[in-house]
């Protein structure tokens, strides 16, 4: 097998053509318990990370927003209220199980008027050029096979003046925090996944996928390669998570 045909699935090497289906299996397995596990894994702090993302988005009434890899719709719910009846939010996810969980949750909240649901591959978005004011992607980019293709695709669908925000696990900034985080990720997290979701293996993959994701500076360079300008990132919780932002001009 040629090296160029391979990519990582966690710490394993697989054929690029296989990765999307392997990732799909993970999220099919965890979809029903995804929100519960998010609260447990982060001790609720993921809500603060997402709130900071929303506050940094500049979303306002009338905007068209794409919540890419939007999963169970936490960001979509907030954006729906911000854009109001004159705006729209598209919740897009490659995984149908996650999309269904998100749709059901948002409908239970009474959010139906300005939200669309689209099953979409981030590497080849099915939207017109220059269409969205803001694109967000929270905890999804690390699961994409060709991340640069996804950033290029997002750049295409953004309007001039639009912005991209990617919220993703990143590299802790201190050695002590990194060691503690490794202990938690590789020993506690899979056990938690087994107890709550009856699935240790998927959470083992999630921990490994975080370690294989580009660090803060590398991802910033990838933003710039896609054409984004004024690219910045903001570390949260000691760099365990970073919010990257870039603009299309």
Q: What is the pLDDT of residues 174-202, one digit of tens each?
A: 999 999 999 999 999 999 989 888 888 98
Report how far residue 134's alpha carbon sits from residue 18's, in angstroms, rounded to the nearest whole number: 31
pLDDT of residue 160: 98
pLDDT of residue 230: 98
Long-range contacts of 217-224 (CB under 8 A, 24+ apart): 219/141, 219/166, 219/168, 219/170, 219/244, 220/244, 222/147, 222/148, 222/151, 223/151, 223/164, 223/166
In a domain, 182, yes or no: no
What is the tally of structural domains in the chain?
1
What DSSP assignment string belongs to 53-74?
HHHHH---TT-EEEEET-TT-H
Q: What is the pLDDT of residues 19-55, one digit of tens each?
A: 988 887 888 888 888 888 888 889 899 999 999 999 9
pLDDT of residue 123: 97
Residue 1 predicted with pLDDT over 50 = no
Report which DSSP code applies to 242: E
Q: What is the pLDDT of residues 51-102, one digit of tens each?
A: 999 999 999 999 999 999 998 999 999 999 999 999 999 999 999 999 999 9
In a domain, 207, yes or no: no
In a domain, 6, yes or no: no
pLDDT of residue 37: 82
pLDDT of residue 4: 61
Residue 227 predicted with pLDDT over 70 = yes
Say if residue 67 carries a ligand binding annotation: no
CB 163 within 8 A of CB 134: yes
Say if residue 93 carries a ligand binding annotation: yes
In a domain, 91, yes or no: yes
In a domain, 82, yes or no: yes
Residue 241 predicted with pLDDT over 70 = yes
pLDDT of residue 9: 86
Q: Give the domain range for residue 236.
A: 16-173+215-248
The domain spanning residue 62 has which CATH number?
3.40.50.150
In a domain, 158, yes or no: yes
In a domain, 2, yes or no: no
Q: What is the pLDDT of residues 118-165, one digit of tens each?
A: 999 999 999 999 999 999 999 999 999 999 999 999 999 999 999 999
Say if residue 72 carries a ligand binding annotation: yes
In a domain, 4, yes or no: no
CB 7 within 8 A of CB 19: yes
Say if residue 122 carries a ligand binding annotation: yes
pLDDT of residue 29: 83
């Amino acid at each position: 097998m040629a090296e160029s045909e391979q990519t990582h699935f966690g710490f394993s090497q697989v054929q690029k053509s296989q990765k999307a289906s392997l990732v799909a299996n993970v999220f099919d397995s965890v979809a029903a318990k995804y929100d519960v596990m998010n609260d447990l894994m982060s001790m609720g702090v993921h809500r603060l990370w997402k709130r900071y993302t929303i506050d940094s988005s500049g979303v306002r009434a009338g905007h068209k927003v794409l919540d890419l890899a939007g999963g169970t719709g936490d960001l979509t719910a907030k954006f729906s209220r911000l854009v109001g009846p004159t705006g729209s939010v598209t919740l897009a996810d490659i995984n149908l199980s996650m999309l269904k969980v998100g749709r059901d949750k948002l409908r239970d909240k009474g959010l139906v008027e300005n939200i669309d649901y689209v099953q979409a591959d981030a590497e080849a978005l099915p939207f017109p050029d220059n269409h969205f004011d803001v694109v967000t992607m929270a905890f999804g980019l690390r699961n994409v096979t060709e991340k640069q293709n996804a950033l290029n695709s997002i750049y295409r669908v953004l309007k001039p003046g639009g912005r991209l925000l990617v919220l993703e696990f990143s590299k802790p900034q201190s050695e002590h925090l990194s060691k503690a985080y490794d202990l938690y990720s590789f020993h506690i997290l899979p056990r938690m996944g087994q107890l709550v979701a009856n699935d240790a293996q998927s959470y083992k993959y999630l921990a490994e996928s975080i370690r294989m994701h580009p660090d803060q500076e590398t991802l910033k360079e990838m933003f710039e390669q896609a054409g984004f300008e004024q690219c910045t990132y903001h570390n949260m919780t000691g760099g365990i998570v970073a919010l990257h932002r870039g603009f299309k001009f």
